[in-house]
A and B are shown apart, each in its own frame.
Chain A
Amino acid sequence: MPGSLEGVRVIDLTDPRGFLAGKILADMGADVIKLEPPGGDPARCRGPFLGGVADPERSLLWLALNTSKRGITLDLAAERGRELYRALIETADVVLESFAPGELAARGLGYETLREAHPQLVHCAITPFGQTGPYAGYRGHDLVAVAMGGNAALTGDPDRPPVRCSMPTAYYHAAPEAALGITFALLAREETGRGQFVDVSLQECQLQTLLSAPGQHARDPRAQRRTGARTGRTREIWAAKDGYVTFGLRGGPARIPNLIATVEYMAASGVAPAWLCEYDWSSFNHNTVSDEEIERLEAAFGAFFRTRTMRELYEEALERRILLAPCNDVRELAEHPQLRDREFFVTLEYPELGAAIEHPGFFARSSNDGIRLRGRAPQIGEHNSEIFEALGVSETALAELVSEGVV
């Protein structure tokens, strides 16, 4: 089934900051052409590698985040390479890149130049801080974006430095945002016939993770610090027998039944203290309850959770509708009965590597079946012949370009 972005051609020039953005568009059916320098993208040298064998065709980062794309090699530093790039742009709807602001323009390939000949072009750039402004020239990967975007200051234990997630979540936030900006620009083009520039800032995308905390703070300033395993005044992360679970004493009257159900679970297990069984939840309000009371409740719940495994707790939580969830690791995700039931994982074949690898299969399920992996990531220059020939480059000319190191 064709996807929503069927017929849209994207030239993907990104580094790992934008790989996921290109993948999303490709998994929605766009014809995404990943452009690498001759010899392959530098990210291909990044481990871990499939089977631990260092090889540019086996980088798992590359394989994971370039699904459904086609791949060509082209040297944009060479004049002939830039000529071919301009020819390629004539066939394209979207350029997606993550160069520092001005870097493409310095090569004569900036949006301002290209749009003269191709007013229909949509150009999207993912950068740390955006194209203009006092920090536009600043460098940054995930850690800098998470720090400058306000999330790090509120994440971590009070007695240690602020901390990030160990996977680059700044890119995860920016990727669908870039894809959305591009899709909005394509919708606008349907009306106007003209493309436009989509300026994505990693830092600015981070602010949404704060879910309006800056605006609330501007109105009612309160010193906010990172509180580790607690959210506000109450504990959110609890030790189970074999790992950690989330469970909160907060959330207003709507969550009271879940606290009562937890006490019932404890009582059924024979470990609920008498005072807890008789607890009057009708007047419980997490905004007004005393610190001593929070301490007493947390001691009772905490002692119980430590006697049960994450899985035991979660199974009862499902049964009794308790807001408790395990802090899963990737193996638990891969084996998750819910994800399995929905056939969330799909296996891509890598015959040239003698491997088959499971990938997450979609970010949403469409009744038109348009959002899904369409194929494995491209090998170095895998689609050179078909793409350059379509641009009118003969087989001989292509061989020449290869020997000159342009392709």
Chain B
Amino acid sequence: MPAAHPSLRELKLLELSSGAAGPVAARYFAEQGATVVRVESAKRPDFLRILQLTPDSPHGLDGAPMFILLNPNKESVSVNLKTAEGKQIVERLVAWADVVLENFSPGVMARLGLDYQRLRRVRPDLIMLSGCLFGQTGPQRGYPGFGGQGTAIAGFNHLTGWPDRESYGPYGTLTDSLAPRYAALAVAGALLERRRTGRGQYIDLSQIEAGVYSLSELVVRYAANGEIPSRRGNRSEQAAPHAVVPCAGEDRWIAIAVFDDDSWRALCRVMGDPDWARDPDYATGEGRLRHEPELDRRLAEWTSGVEPYALMAKLQAAGVEAGVVQTLDDLLADPQLAHRGHFEEIEHAHLGRLRFERSGFRLSENPGGLDRPGPNLGEHNQRVLGEYLGLDAVEIAALAELGALE
């Protein structure tokens, strides 16, 4: 891995989680060179290992593309937490680790005897984060939802779509990608704090609260003025045109946004200064906002026969904000993402070469990187139990015999 992070190279993170949000939080550390060990069990596999599973899936739990893609650079140890010996293994791993990250339903860790109060006896300066949908306290903490429910509850669905149609979430259960960033940040901050004070901490992160915190502007507008904003298609309150309009080709689109009069004049020049655009109403932002439906229609007429990338280049060169609505195929071929090394190709034993993804920032001195695919279940039992915990082959065999490693 290129230039691993100096302070994270020695960092050991223990992860008891499933789905997207918890594992993605830990991935930030794995990408920067930390040792991340996932505790898993075939008795209750991560649902991403079974989400796409059908009876004829050839590699079973070890062939789930989404799991593999979201968990690069990690190690997997299989532990049955229902057994006393399994719990002891986790306690020993906590003593080994710097950070514990879990996203079970609230109360599950306590029932297993693995809650923070107990684990900090094993490691007094432990940093532990519990992530879940609603947080560890409160009347609805037991609600069993996932990111799709979190996104709706946090208010993002109501804000997405067309005013005359049903609301739907932005693709990809938005709080599932928002929450892990805050989780990783809270842990990174806690590491900095522990260096300074020697103290650990417990962090209770609710995916919904992280979403609503991001929507502070919305909450403040309601609290101050009683305003209840709703979905408005692609319209903006500051810019017009601010639209997605069709281009040449099957289902091809371009986003165009005009935030000031200079950009409007530039757009007119690129369009060849058509007569309709000379209407003085369009010369000001206010006027353009007032005439938005007509503007969008005119713009669409002009763009609909044009190749989207050529149009984007032409508009951007003239100083007009424009971006092609990129499909998954487009992203895989995007020269800017390629320049940033966003996709890293790594070979997987069962699935062949896969394209893994980097996070959205690059550190100039410690860029980090990805070089191992998401692990098979229990792939690293020998390393974790032998090397990290110092158990010998006989002890490991005995644990397996007792069913602690299932």
Contact = CB atoms under 8 A, between A and B. Distances in A.
Contact of A184 (B8, B54, B327): B8
Contact of B232 (A166, A219, A329): A166
B361 A180 contact: yes
Given A177-B181, A342-B137, 12 more contacts: A140-B321, A141-B259, A149-B331, A150-B327, A181-B363, A183-B188, A187-B191, A198-B361, A323-B146, A327-B152, A363-B213, A365-B204
A221 to B, nearest CB: 7
Contacts of B244: 143, 147, 152, 161-163
Interface stretch (A46-54, A102-110, A388-396): A46-54
Interface string B153-170: 111111111100111111
| 10 A-B pairs with least C-beta separation | A4-B189, A205-B360, A133-B339, A144-B323, A176-B181, A154-B171, A181-B361, A325-B149, A147-B255, A64-B220
A180 to B, nearest CB: 4
B280 interface: no
B265 to A, nearest CB: 15
Contact of B229 (A20, A166, A236, A321): A166
Contacts of A188: 5-7, 363, 365-366
Given A188-B7, A209-B177, A341-B138, A363 B161 contact: no
The number of chain A residues touching the other chain, given as a range, is 35 or more
B360 A211 contact: no
A135 interface: yes
A141 B257 CA distance: 8
Contacts of A150: 326-328, 330-331
A245 B157 CA distance: 9
A360 interface: yes
A138 to B, nearest CB: 5
Given A147-B244, A155-B168, A325 B188 contact: no
A175 to B, nearest CB: 7
Contacts of A244: 157-158, 166-167
Q: Indicate the member of B52, B155, B176, B316 with the most A CB atoms within 10 Å.
A: B155
A215 B135 contact: no
A50 to B, nearest CB: 5
Given A237-B157, A246-B149, A325-B153, A63 B220 contact: yes
A4 B192 contact: yes
A374 B246 CA distance: 46
Given A143-B323, A150-B328, A244-B166, A163 B161 contact: yes
A139 B319 contact: yes
Contacts of A218: 332, 343, 354-355
Given A196-B366, A366-B202, A207 B234 contact: no
Nearest to A58: B224
Interface in A163-198: 163-167, 169, 172-181, 183-188, 190-192, 194, 196-198
A47 B245 CA distance: 27
B335 to A, nearest CB: 5
B-side interface size class: 35 or more
Contacts, number: 519
B282 interface: no
> Which residue of A140, A184, A199 has the most chain B CB atoms within 10 A of its CB atom?
A184
A197 B363 contact: yes
Contacts of B362: 130, 198-199
Contacts of B148: 231, 236, 246, 248, 325
Contacts of A172: 178, 214-215
A402 interface: no
Contact of A217 (B192, B230, B328, B361): B328
Interface stretch (A81-89, A262-270, A274-282, A330-338): A330-338
Nearest to A52: B225
A13 interface: no
A358 interface: yes
A114 interface: no
A204 B225 contact: no
A310 to B, nearest CB: 10
Contact of B233 (A163, A214, A317): A163
Interface string B12-42: 0000000010001000100010000000000
A227 to B, nearest CB: 9
A148 interface: yes
B193 to A, nearest CB: 4
B221 A161 contact: no
Contact of A7 (B8, B167, B196, B225): B196
Given A64-B220, A167-B218, A213-B328, A341 B137 contact: yes
Contacts of B259: 141
Contact of A173 (B165, B181, B339): B181
Contacts of A7: 196
Interface in B260-289: none
B195 interface: yes
Interface string B181-206: 11111101111110110010111111
Interface stretch (A32-40, A251-259, A292-300): A251-259
B342 interface: yes
B234 A143 contact: yes
A139 B255 CA distance: 12
A375 interface: no
A304 interface: no
12 contacts: A47-B237, A144-B255, A177-B360, A181-B361, A208-B24, A217-B332, A220-B65, A329-B158, A342-B135, A362-B209, A364-B183, A370-B201
A5 interface: yes
Given A143-B234, A163-B161, A338-B138, A221 B329 contact: yes
Contacts of B153: 325-326, 328, 336
B88 interface: no
Contacts of B311: none
Contact of A161 (B53, B177, B234): B234
Contacts of B316: 137-139
A44 B327 CA distance: 36
A113 to B, nearest CB: 15
Contacts of B215: 167, 172, 330, 333, 360
A323 B254 CA distance: 36
B363 A184 contact: yes
A198 B189 contact: no
B402 interface: no
A173 B161 contact: no
Nearest to A216: B65
A219 B66 CA distance: 11
A211 B216 contact: no
Interface in A67-123: 67
A186 B192 contact: yes
Contacts of B172: 151, 154, 209-211, 213
A237 B168 contact: yes
B47 interface: yes
Interface string B304-329: 00000000100010011111111111
Looking at A148, A174, A197, A337, the one whose CB has the most chain B CB atoms below 10 A away is A148
A130 B363 CA distance: 12
A134 B221 contact: no
